[in-house]
Amino acid sequence: MKKKVLVCGAGGFIGGHLVSNLIKDNKFEIICADIKPLNYWFQYFSETENYSLDLKELENCNKVTSGVDYIFNMACNMGGMGFIENNKAECMLSVLINTNLLRASLKNDVEKYFFSSSACVYNASKQSKNFIPGLKEEDAYPADAEDGYGWEKLFSERMCRHFTEDFGVQTRIARYHNVYGPLGTFSGGREKAPAALCRKVIQSKFDRSFSIDVWGDGEQTRSFLFIDDCITGTKAVFNSNYNDVFNVGSEEQVSINQMVDLIETIAGYKVKRNYQLNMPRGVMGRSSDNSLVYKKIGWKPSSNLKEGLQRTYDWIYKEIQMNEADNKFSRKY
């Protein structure tokens, strides 16, 4: 019999890509759960068992974990820096999802449990300059995480650790670093920098405005992980024999200005940058050190930033192009 896999947050960006990948494996019976109504899921698959429910409730967690062998917990309330800085309480409430899924896993004898953490757990004092050395897993302590979202992720990491130590639940944890790619959010306030900047350049190109807004001064640095690499890293961590916390990120650190340069090259279009110094920008510098995950598991990303941005840009361009065509049709008729 095939193992039963539950993907929580399956209607989200990373969750949807993970489900798509697991379907291609053809090794599992897949159950999907997300708080959003099915018609709002980023990707929807009729061949999976799909639930729209709130996993902050223990009763719902018990329901969807019954008879399940493996769990991937991708479910949380999150978005780009603008969202997490202005919705700290909502982000922290996601701790109920992880807590109740772990309780349900113990009750229903789940074999293995994966938790998706974030680079937002890292100590802020180690990210005060741009182009910093890559952050190692131990740099999360002494704890000074991103307020709200980062603290929820760090607390949930500890919860996983103690469920392993005290109850024997096999947990696996990956700290994601700025995951981006096609089939994700690129507008509306929850989008992250790569998608937001691709959208702004594309829209400027359509409008012939020759300018875009950039949050901060553009000198803040990050590393960005393409979604395909995120999925391979997730599966590598999950299938390993280690319950350590592992970075799943890229070591290719760039400034926001450098990323705009890359997008301009892809677009064949130059823009003036209007720096919004009053807007959220997060820490000054953040990047991943992958030495531990490579040493223990042998995983490293295979896509560089320009390749990933090209694929992301192309997808967003088509989406905006279709929207532009629909708007013109609506105005005409």
Residue 165: how many CB atoms within 10 A of its CB?
11
CB 23 within 8 A of CB 49: no
Cα separation, 196 vs 214, whole angstroms? 9
Cα separation, 272 vs 184, whole angstroms? 26
CB 26 within 8 A of CB 32: no
Residue 333: pLDDT band (50, 70, 90) is: very low
Domain range enclosing 272: 193-222+253-288+303-324
CA-based nearest residue to 60, from 39, 95, 33:
33
Q: Give the CATH number of the domain where residue 198 resides.
A: 3.90.25.10
pLDDT reading at 330 higher than 50 = no
Q: With respect to residue 126, please indicate whether it lies within any of the assigned structural domains.
A: yes
Domain count, the chain: 2
What DSSP assignment string belongs to 62-123?
HHHHTT-SEEEE------SHHHHHH-HHHHHTTHHHHHHHHHHHHHTT-SEEEEEEEGGGS-
Do 116 and 260 reside in the same domain of the chain?
A: no
Do 101 and 162 reside in the same domain of the chain?
A: yes
> Which residue among 149, 176, 180, 313 is the active-site one?
149
Q: With respect to residue 294, please indicate whether it lies within any of the assigned structural domains.
A: no
Do 67 and 202 reside in the same domain of the chain?
A: no
Do 70 and 202 reside in the same domain of the chain?
A: no
Q: With respect to residue 186, please indicate whether it lies within any of the assigned structural domains.
A: no
What's the mean pLDDT in 225-244? 98
pLDDT reading at 325 higher than 80 = no
Do 197 and 314 reside in the same domain of the chain?
A: yes
Do 233 and 129 reside in the same domain of the chain?
A: yes
Q: With respect to residue 295, please indicate whether it lies within any of the assigned structural domains.
A: no
What's the mean pLDDT in 195-218? 96
pLDDT reading at 166 higher than 80 = yes
∠ CA 300-306-308, nearest 5°, is 60
Active site residue 149: yes
Looking at residue 280, what is its pLDDT?
86
Do 72 and 139 reside in the same domain of the chain?
A: yes
The model's pLDDT over 146-162, given as tens digits with 9 standing for 90+, comes to 999 999 999 999 999 99
What's the mean pLDDT in 22-36? 97
Q: What is the DSSP letter of 133?
A: P
Q: With respect to residue 188, please indicate whether it lies within any of the assigned structural domains.
A: no
Cα separation, 115 vs 175, whole angstroms? 9
pLDDT reading at 331 higher than 80 = no
CB 102 within 8 A of CB 163: yes
Residue 327: pLDDT band (50, 70, 90) is: low
Do 130 and 65 reside in the same domain of the chain?
A: yes
Q: Give the CATH number of the domain where residue 80 resides.
A: 3.40.50.720
Question: What are the helix (H) ranges across 87-222?
Answer: 88-92, 95-107, 149-167, 193-207
CB 288 within 8 A of CB 134: yes
pLDDT reading at 204 higher than 70 = yes
Give the pTM.
0.95
CB 11 within 8 A of CB 17: no
Q: With respect to residue 164, please indicate whether it lies within any of the assigned structural domains.
A: yes
Do 64 and 38 reside in the same domain of the chain?
A: yes
Q: With respect to residue 332, please indicate whether it lies within any of the assigned structural domains.
A: no
pLDDT reading at 73 higher than 70 = yes
Do 15 and 161 reside in the same domain of the chain?
A: yes
Q: With respect to residue 109, please indicate whether it lies within any of the assigned structural domains.
A: yes
Q: 95 — phi, psi (to 5°)? A: -60, -30
Residue 232 token pair: 């391979």
The model's pLDDT over 245-296, given as tens digits with 9 standing for 90+, comes to 999 999 999 999 999 999 999 999 999 999 999 998 889 999 999 999 999 9
The model's pLDDT over 179-189, given as tens digits with 9 standing for 90+, comes to 999 999 999 88
